[in-house]
A and B are shown apart, each in its own frame.
Chain A
Amino acid sequence: MNSYNLTHLKVLESEAIFIIREVAAQFEKPVMLFSGGKDSIIMFHLARKAFYPDKIPFPLMHIDTGHNFPETINFRNKLIEETGENLIIKLVQESIDNGTAIEETGLNPSRNGLQTVTLLEGIEGGNYDCALGGARRDEEKARAKERFFSHRDEFGQWDPKNQRPELWNLFNGKKNQGEHFRVFPISNWTEMDVWQYILDEKIEIPSLYFAHKRHVVNRDGVLLSKCEHISLKNNEEWQEKTVRCRTIGDMTCTGVSESRASTMEEIIEEVATTRVTERGGRADDKRSEAAMEDRKKEGYF
């Protein structure tokens, strides 16, 4: 008899496709969150696989803080143009203009927290009953306790102590009016799996992930990129370095790392030997011990 074994990447891919299809079947009006980072690019790729040869039966939604790397936005626009899928853009600036979100002040005011307001407004305004996200359990300790199908109350809040048990491949997306779900199809992927999959599937990613020259400032051990939203302190100065992004978020809180990795193979080599977690460079996670848990409870991604 043949040996019917799949590689771990194929198993993870099949699991994610299964879950994305379950979302399309169990919810009336799902939406897929899209940030232009590698995890959401993979999610987009998996969604196309799940419904091939049909189009993705739900729209993508980008919560745009206005603090993005320009490379991310260019990549996003090109991807949508090439695939002809449907993208909705929600601006954090609009929430600020409407007075529902209030801008932070200081040297690098972050709009990271404000995204939650715009996200919940986007979900509520569009009457979406499920938002697919690319969060992974290996990213952060509070995320390690997250379900694939994560229930949110009518305030969009997560109750980690009262999660529904999730067994076998049987997912329960039942809810009351006004409540919604967050679903995370790549929960079981690690950073290494994501990179290997991008290599294996030859998926295009923004140039930011590869080594390039950039002006940065070292603030509390995090290298921040030069942009209009960051002001220097007295003793600080911009320095040109060869860097790349391991994770892409806002320019105000995404640390870049010094690297010479300019091909997928070199990136994988680097990920295999690196000794700091992916989110180690995220200033948003450094704000407190339970920063992610608190943000998630309020309705963050």
Chain B
Amino acid sequence: MSESKGYLDMELLRFTTAGSVDDGKSTLIGRLLYDSKAIFEDQIQNLQEVNEQRGEEGINLALLTDGLRSEREQGITIDVAYRYFATPKRKFIIADTPGHIQYTRNMVTGASTANLALLLIDARHGVIEQTKRHAFIASLLQIPHVAVCVNKMDLVDFSKDEFEKIKSDFKKFASKLEIKDVNFIPISALKGDNVVDRSKNMDWYEGSTLIHLLENIHIGSDLNHVDCRFPVQRVIRPQSKNYPDYRGYAGRIEGGVFKTGDEILTLPSGKKSTIKSIDTFNGEINEAFSPMSVCITLNDNIDISRGDMLVRTNNQPQISQDIEVMICWMNERKLIPKGKYTIRHTSQTTRCIIKEIKYKIDINSLHRMEQENELSMNDIGRISIKTTKPLFFDSYRRNRNTGSIILVNEATNETVGAGMII
């Protein structure tokens, strides 16, 4: 019973992994899963059979993460794969994204919900263009923590000098970015050094192992608990015998802390009221904070529907139809200047027109290319848009939930762009 109680106290950490094809990323994930006993006997047996068919010896941990047939055949990861493991302290969700240049969109996808980015560097090659690209995306997506794993230390004789050089190269480049919390760890994913068990080959390293870092890094401040934001997802009106006049607003707290009795302002109407109750299936609660899903009732009858937002009177989001966005383009059809798209933001759906492409970013040099007037698949650039009705938003830097948008192509219905409001 004590064990199951302990499990109920665990926190959740989401991290994304980035690295190029040969950095040993899949091996590292395989190692984390294997050493934390998240891999089962039938999976290992299955891997052995596959390896035998392919004429390989031993177990290829990389095959654990490549789920689709074509991935196994080509030995590459095509899509974001989600993996799970747990230690007694935390449950982990890994968004494993492919590292090839054409798959920026997958990295952005994996990064969008991550608390931490795990960047892999091959100790023999040091900081290469791809490392810079990954670091840039981690910074752009405002991932709160970055763990730089210098892998294959066994192939550079576990050299402290090599590690320190890579560390200083990375820091030099990262100084141009907004990365708040960086940790460097020398590892060998293949041999297991400093992954779960401390390395016997690198006495000079006094920092924590990767798993220790993942278990202990402080994630309590990753969400915004200051600016109260409650986008209404749905109006709950049972009109039943027990609840004839009940009118509640269902949604998830996307920022701040809401308490019973708080004065709130509803957007876009601007009408004020106070919180009568915060209801859940398990009973009424006194306060709710991000990322809780609740149902809020008010003391006044106000016309509120999906897409509206409850906020505090003295702390309002920006309200505008003209919005500046850093966009990552995710579709084979290029962004159309002056084109019209459906835009989704919190629980709002509306339309927008692309007014201007301000610049495109060369993600290797971080240079702004202001002459560029098109954005293709995997390009990142700054655009300005105008929406058909006002959005209630914060800058992405301040709140990832109220500062992010997606664009949808109205003819194909595909999600074509992922944007961060500036």
Contact = CB atoms under 8 A, between A and B. Distances in A.
A193 B8 contact: no
B100 interface: no
B361 interface: no
B238 A54 contact: yes
Interface stretch (B17-25, B85-93, B201-209, B352-360): B85-93
A160 B293 CA distance: 30
Interface string B207-242: 000000000000010010100000001101110101
Contacts of B295: 52
Q: How large is the interface on A (under 10, 10 to 19, 20 to 34, 35 or more residues)?
A: 35 or more
Given A52-B279, A167-B406, A265 B113 contact: no
Q: Which 9 A-B pairs have the closest CB atoms?
A: A141-B67, A8-B12, A49-B281, A174-B413, A280-B42, A17-B293, A54-B238, A167-B112, A52-B281
Contacts of A269: 3-4
B321 to A, nearest CB: 19
A145 B81 contact: yes
Contacts of B382: none
22 contacts: A7-B9, A10-B292, A12-B12, A13-B293, A21-B233, A24-B234, A51-B234, A52-B236, A52-B295, A55-B240, A141-B67, A144-B81, A165-B105, A165-B109, A165-B415, A170-B406, A174-B413, A188-B84, A269-B4, A280-B40, A280-B41, A290-B69
A143 B1 CA distance: 32
A117 to B, nearest CB: 23
A91 interface: no
B50 interface: yes
B82 A188 contact: yes
Interface in A159-192: 160-161, 163-170, 172, 174-176, 187-188, 190, 192
A160 B242 contact: no
A167 B3 contact: no
Nearest to B37: A275
A53 B401 contact: no
B67 A172 contact: no
A275 B93 contact: no
B11 A145 contact: no
B345 A170 contact: yes
Interface in B70-114: 70, 78-84, 86, 90-91, 93, 105-106, 108-109, 112-113
A17 B281 CA distance: 11
B281 A166 contact: no
A21 B292 contact: no
Given A5-B11, A138-B83, 5 more contacts: A52-B279, A52-B280, A53-B240, A188-B84, A269-B4
A274 B4 CA distance: 15
B290 A145 contact: no
A163 B413 CA distance: 12
Given A8-B91, A293-B69, A51 B236 contact: yes
A247 B248 CA distance: 37
A8 B406 contact: no
B163 interface: no
Nearest to A16: B293
A21 B225 CA distance: 23
Interface string A1-40: 1011111111111110110011011000000000000000
Given A144-B82, A165-B109, A172-B413, A199 B4 contact: yes
Nearest to B66: A141
B275 interface: no
B79 A145 contact: yes
B250 A276 contact: no
Interface string A191-223: 011001001100000000000000000000000
B5 to A, nearest CB: 10
B173 interface: no
A176 B281 contact: no
Contact of B418 (A165, A169, A196): A165
Nearest to A193: B91
A135 B81 CA distance: 15
Nearest to A142: B67
A185 B9 CA distance: 22
Interface in A252-296: 265, 268-269, 272, 274-277, 280, 289-290, 293
A11 B108 CA distance: 22
Given A53-B242, A192-B86, A21 B345 contact: no
A168 B342 CA distance: 17
B131 interface: no
Listed residue (B109, B225, B257) with the most chain A CB atoms within 10 angstroms of its CB = B109
Given A21-B293, A276-B40, A196 B4 contact: yes
B292 A6 contact: yes
Listed residue (A52, A161, A272) with the most chain B CB atoms within 10 angstroms of its CB = A52
A167 B86 contact: no
B149 interface: no
Contacts of B105: 165
Given A145-B68, A165-B415, A175-B413, A5 B401 contact: no
Interface in A38-75: 48-55
